[in-house]
Structure 1
Amino acid sequence: MARDRGGRPPTLTEQARRAQLIEVAIEQVAEHGYARTSLSRLADGAGITKAAVLYHFPSRDAVLEAAHAHALAALVRAVGAAVDAADPAAKPAAYARAMIGHLREHPRHTRMLIEAMTDTDAEHAPEARWRPLAALLDAAVRARGGAETDSRTAAIAIGGAIDAIVAERLRDPGYDTAAAAEVLAAMIDRWTS
């Protein structure tokens, strides 16, 4: 649990305010973008002063980093639960379905994740995304008795397909990402057979 500047654990009220500021940050980034989400917008969105925001977070960037971490953690939890529930041969397809489904159901989180990746100086290691999926693909191929293949390239391609499907949904809210996830899952199943 985070401690305040005095070294004591935050009160329930302080925890609730921090959670509110994280949600406001996600909303503001989704609406205005990372660069245009100012300390004033965060304060106005939460109905508090800028000084009150700075009581809970040391800076605007700290609020946005916490919001990014929150959105990413929610995605990881949802995808992890879906993958854990699937048998080894079905884990890669479960990964794709869960990624697309979670991002469809949480468009503000999607915007937060995209904005944080494109509008910050933070480095994002590509292998952090493709390596876990490549391991799932390798395990699925083994579970189905298939021959070893280039799982790295497949994981990168699947990640790109997921990104394209999600981006299309952001561009066209009527795009059926559930159907697209099923098409991608079928392609993954053929690849791992």
Structure 2
Amino acid sequence: MRSENEPSGQNPRSFIEEARRAQIVCSAVAVIAEAGFAKASLARIAEHAGISKGVISYHFAGKDELMEEVVRHTYQGAVAHVAARMEGLTTATELVRTHILAAAEYMRGHRDQLKTLGEIFNNLREADGAPRFGINGNEKLYELLERLYRLGQAGGEFRAFDPRVMAVTHQAALDTMFAYWVANPGHDLDAHARELADLVERACRA
């Protein structure tokens, strides 16, 4: 993505440029959440943003790069929120529970972003047809969760188990929880998250 691979020596983007990119990302989220990935053309996104298609092309090389920026922007916001909730916690049990509850808390206020992520993950492809964001794209999340579970085992809070298996299971449960909520908006996301946190805690407890 251009946002992470600026040519050496290039001046950083101005505040106005960053604001315009953020506006385009927000419009992309809104259009994809309403119309779906296939119908979210750059022209339609530009119309929603009240700008010309050329403005989008100035900031992004194409639809693929814009979609990557939508994913990066969404995860950046979620990670910042969850990290703030976890700050100052010391026990692995608190950290694991808070990771689940804080993720649900953030996504409850960003349903369109969550719906858009699902559309992008299911539709954005590499040249060979492989998903651009496959399961291995979660590796950093798995590593973080593994560290939390190893912390609990080292401190005697958690029983012996394979931390990687638990990390993958933890993230899969979150992803499924969010997918179910997107498909069923009346579902109580917070209650689901609390129940999931209880299940994980009981499964890990020494």
Q: Write the distance in 2 (CA, Å) between the matches of 1:128 and 1:153.
A: 14
Query: How far does the alpha carbon of each residue in 1:102-123 deviate from its partner, in whole angstroms, 9 at most, with x for none?
Result: 2222111112222222211214
Q: Write the distance in 2 (CA, Å) between the matches of 1:123 and 1:13.
A: 30
Task: Work out whether 1:33 is the aligned partner of 2:45.
Answer: no
Flag the 1:127–1:13 CA change in 2: closer, same or farther, 3 A: closer
Give the aligned partner of residue 91 of structure 1: 95
Contact 1:30 1:111 in 2 (8 A): yes
Q: Which one-letter code corresponds to 1:113 in the other structure?
A: L
Within 5 Å, give how 1:1-193 maps onto structure 2: 7-89=10-92, 90-121=94-125, 122-124=132-134, 125=136, 126-193=138-205
Q: Write the distance in 1 (CA, Å) between the matches of 2:122 and 2:89.
A: 32
Flag the 1:12–1:129 CA change in 2: closer, same or farther, 3 A: closer
Structure 1 position 59, deviation (Å): 1.8
TM-score by length of 2: 0.82
Query: How far does the alpha carbon of each residue in 1:41-80 deviate from its partner, in whole angstroms, 9 at most, with x for none?
Result: 1110111111122122222222222122101111111222
Q: Percent identity?
A: 27
Q: Which one-letter code corresponds to 2:160 in the other structure?
A: E
Contact 2:142 2:171 in 1 (8 A): yes
- Count, aligned residues: 192
Contact 2:149 2:158 in 1 (8 A): no
Flag the 1:10–1:147 CA change in 2: closer, same or farther, 3 A: closer
List alignment gaps of at least 5 residues for structure 2: 126-131
Q: Which one-letter code corresponds to 1:192 in the other structure?
A: C
Contact 1:72 1:113 in 2 (8 A): no
Partner SS for 2:40 = coil
Partner SS for 2:87 = helix
Q: Write the distance in 2 (CA, Å) between the matches of 1:143 and 1:83.
A: 18
Partner SS for 1:86 = coil
Contact 2:64 2:124 in 1 (8 A): no
Q: Write the distance in 2 (CA, Å) between the matches of 1:155 and 1:24.
A: 33
Q: Write the distance in 1 (CA, Å) between the matches of 2:140 and 2:12.
A: 32
Q: Write the distance in 1 (CA, Å) between the matches of 2:46 and 2:112.
A: 19
Q: Write the distance in 2 (CA, Å) between the matches of 1:179 and 1:165.
A: 11
Contact 1:21 1:46 in 2 (8 A): yes
TM-score by length of 1: 0.87
